[in-house]
Structure 1
Amino acid sequence: MSGQTASAVEAALRTIASPDLKAEVARFFFDGLGETEVLGVGIGKVFPVAKAHAGLPLGEIGRLLDSRFYEIRMAAAAIMDFQARARKSPNGLEALYRLYLDRHDRLDNWDLVDRAAPHVVGQYLFERPRLPLYELAESTDPWRRRTAIVATWYFIRAGQVEDTFAICAMLAGDGHVMVQKAIGSWVRTAGEKDPERLRAFLGEHGDRLSAEAIRMATEKMPPEERRIFRRKG
């Protein structure tokens, strides 16, 4: 497809960038920007640009991941997601999965992980051994640990919650707030499939979870039960 280049994606994003939005966009980058910069494109406006370039070749996605700009890397994550969801991906799911893991250092924020991990990583591993998720859970990098949790969304959707609870149990004492938030959100979602498993998880691991993770995990419980688990945490 014509125009399917990293340069075209960057040019499209620069066209809609506003310097006035830089501070607002930067707020979404959790650990501070460091060497990352922002263009000033609202994240919701990145996705239509990514969709318009959803046929991007793998090497060009890699070039987007090389960018120092947050929104450009978000476009890469979104393009990977669009391709993974497509029935006929131009790059193939395995290639996207390998790129995601090989370039995880560039997927260094919670929303970059959340955008691509379920369909790129979770979908690829759905009918394969899931050991890579447990290896990610043991990483010193919090975003890799978040991937280990977030990727299991694809399993939960299919009614499989074992890996979600197992990985969250491994990470229950994790000190990073965005890993704790992932635990809270994902065990709550898995608990919609298996409420008893959620109760058992909170009973066993609640004392290692953050208050925020427990609050998120119990959001859909009856008020009295919610209070019991929140006191435990």
Structure 2
Amino acid sequence: MLKELKTALAELAIPEKAAFLPKFFKTGKGEYGEGDLFLGVKVPDQRAVAKEFYTKISLDEIAELLSSKYHEHRLTALFMLISKFEKTKDNSVKDEIVQFYLNNLEGINNWDLADTSCYKILGRYAFENQKDDLLINLSESEDMWHKRIAVVGTMHYVKKGNFELTKKLVLRNLFHSHDLMHKANGWLLREMGNKNETELIGFLNSHYRKMPRTSLRYAIEKLDENLRQDYLKGKI
């Protein structure tokens, strides 16, 4: 089955896209995606392959895909894992999938891999089972991807109108050295504001002066233009 899936992806590969993606995902020496390889398969095509195979493929085979050097193998693996998690009504299967996810974090090592999967699996599970520590513990890791998984994982909480964990994790890594964390923090604050602007403004009024500029710009993107300018100019 794994061979069939890899063949299906290979047949959808676009050489020009394979040449472009390493630059887009910063795979050069010392960059955050260093060493990642690409087949050049469009994301909608990966989703289609995942939809075809997710019921047929085992967690062991998904683990093998997550250890692949090819980015599309790992992303397609996560699409299938999400489908397995969302479609099952068996809580023991959900438990198994979440533990599997945590055991295979090494393969979730770029922003799209983290952002696509973390809130749909880990965040949802943590919210529904009152297990905030799953995300809190990851936020304390030294690994940046773990930290990003933690804060983006709270997206499920935000969608449910629960903002406290998002604010806690944003503050915990507010001054992280990497721009990708600044973007993630700002993004989640913006999503919080989309759900409840009063919550966002309350957070900003307490913290915006010390926030990294990237986080602030992301957070205020959807606010009224005059209010945006006041935050950017430090007038509040």
TM-score (normalised: structure 2)? 0.89
Relative to structure 1, the CA distance from residue 209 to residue 89 in structure 2 (aligned partners, 3 Å threshold; closer, same or farther) is: farther
Which residue is 1:187 aligned to?
Answer: 189
Give the unaligned 5+ runs of structure 2.
none
- 8 Å CA contact 2:22–2:36 kept in 1: the answer is no
Give the unaligned 5+ runs of structure 1.
none
Which residue is 2:209 aligned to?
Answer: 207
Which residue is 2:218 aligned to?
Answer: 216
Alignment identity in percent?
Answer: 27
Deviation at 1:115, TM superposition (A): 1.0
For 1:40 and 1:194, locate their aligned partners in 2 and report how far apart those are by CA, in whole Å: 39
Relative to structure 1, the CA distance from residue 128 to residue 90 in structure 2 (aligned partners, 3 Å threshold; closer, same or farther) is: closer
Which residue is 1:15 aligned to?
Answer: 11
Q: What residue identity is the alignment partner of 2:182?
A: Q
Which residue is 2:232 aligned to?
Answer: 230
Greater alpha carbon shift after TM alignment, 37-46 vs 217-226: 37-46
Greater alpha carbon shift after TM alignment, 165-174 vs 78-87: 78-87
For 1:89 and 1:70, locate their aligned partners in 2 and report how far apart those are by CA, in whole Å: 30
Alignment deviations for residues 115-158 of structure 1 (CA, whole Å, 9 cap, x no partner): 11011101111122211211111111111111111111111111
Greater alpha carbon shift after TM alignment, 196-205 vs 89-98: 89-98
Which residue is 2:2 aligned to?
Answer: 6
Q: What residue identity is the alignment partner of 2:44?
A: G
Report 1:168-187 matches (<5 A). Answer: 168-187=170-189
Relative to structure 1, the CA distance from residue 200 to residue 161 in structure 2 (aligned partners, 3 Å threshold; closer, same or farther) is: same
Number of residue-to-residue matches in the alignment: 229
Helix, strand or coil at the partner of 1:175: coil
Q: What residue identity is the alignment partner of 2:65?
A: L
- CA-based RMSD: 2.0
- 8 Å CA contact 1:19–1:40 kept in 2: the answer is yes
Helix, strand or coil at the partner of 1:92: helix
- 8 Å CA contact 2:33–2:110 kept in 1: the answer is no
For 1:17 and 1:193, locate their aligned partners in 2 and report how far apart those are by CA, in whole Å: 38
For 2:228 and 2:167, locate their aligned partners in 1 and report how far apart those are by CA, in whole Å: 19
For 1:178 and 1:45, locate their aligned partners in 2 and report how far apart those are by CA, in whole Å: 26
Which residue is 2:42 aligned to?
Answer: 42
For 1:91 and 1:39, locate their aligned partners in 2 and report how far apart those are by CA, in whole Å: 35
For 1:44 and 1:178, locate their aligned partners in 2 and report how far apart those are by CA, in whole Å: 24
Deviation at 1:198, TM superposition (A): 1.1
TM-score (normalised: structure 1)? 0.90
Whether 1:26 aligns to 2:28 is no
- 8 Å CA contact 1:9–1:53 kept in 2: the answer is yes
For 1:179 and 1:89, locate their aligned partners in 2 and report how far apart those are by CA, in whole Å: 34
Alignment deviations for residues 20-53 of structure 1 (CA, whole Å, 9 cap, x no partner): 2212222342435433211121233211111111
- 8 Å CA contact 2:182–2:215 kept in 1: the answer is yes
For 1:28 and 1:112, locate their aligned partners in 2 and report how far apart those are by CA, in whole Å: 14
Greater alpha carbon shift after TM alignment, 41-50 vs 70-79: 41-50
Whether 1:85 aligns to 2:86 is yes
Relative to structure 1, the CA distance from residue 82 to residue 91 in structure 2 (aligned partners, 3 Å threshold; closer, same or farther) is: farther
Which residue is 2:150 aligned to?
Answer: 148
Deviation at 1:83, TM superposition (A): 1.8
